[in-house]
Amino acid sequence: MTFIYCRHCDWGQDDFYDWRLWKRYSYNPVTKILGYIKEYARPRFIKFDPGFRGGGRFHSWDVMLFSIVRALREWYHMKWPTYRKWRKAYKSGKATCPTCGRTDGFTED
């Protein structure tokens, strides 16, 4: 997994997706959503610490819906969904920061 960020502003993108669905541990929205369904489909109440929406008890289906919406939102807001697209844009000079618009401030971590 790679984290890219801009040194000139606070923009960053965490992890690229891997769309090879035949791999056991491919990382993409489909596998994330299926994992959330598998984890939270059984109806029950889950207690969370105060760091998650103020803490308290939540129904597992509410947590599942929140997690699925969050995964879809992350996918929608990704500038480069795959590492291959990022490298291609970077090498061709078309990779610009979505926040500040600069092309010379990217760092891979």
Q: Spell out the per-residue pLDDT of the chain, length 109, in tens.
A: 578 888 888 888 877 777 776 666 667 788 889 999 999 999 999 888 777 777 788 899 999 999 999 999 988 888 888 888 888 888 888 888 888 888 888 888 7
Residue 32 Ramachandran class (φ > 0 left, ψ -120 to 50 alpha, else beta): alpha
Looking at the DSSP assignment, which residues form a beta bridge with residue 6?
A: 106
Q: What is the pLDDT of residue 37?
A: 94
DSSP state of 103: S
What count of residues does the chain have?
A: 109
45 beta partners: 59
pTM of the model: 0.72
- pLDDT of 108 reads 81
Burial class for 17, CB neighbours closer than 10 Å (0-12, 13-18, 19+): buried
DSSP symbol at 104 = S
pLDDT at position 22 is 66
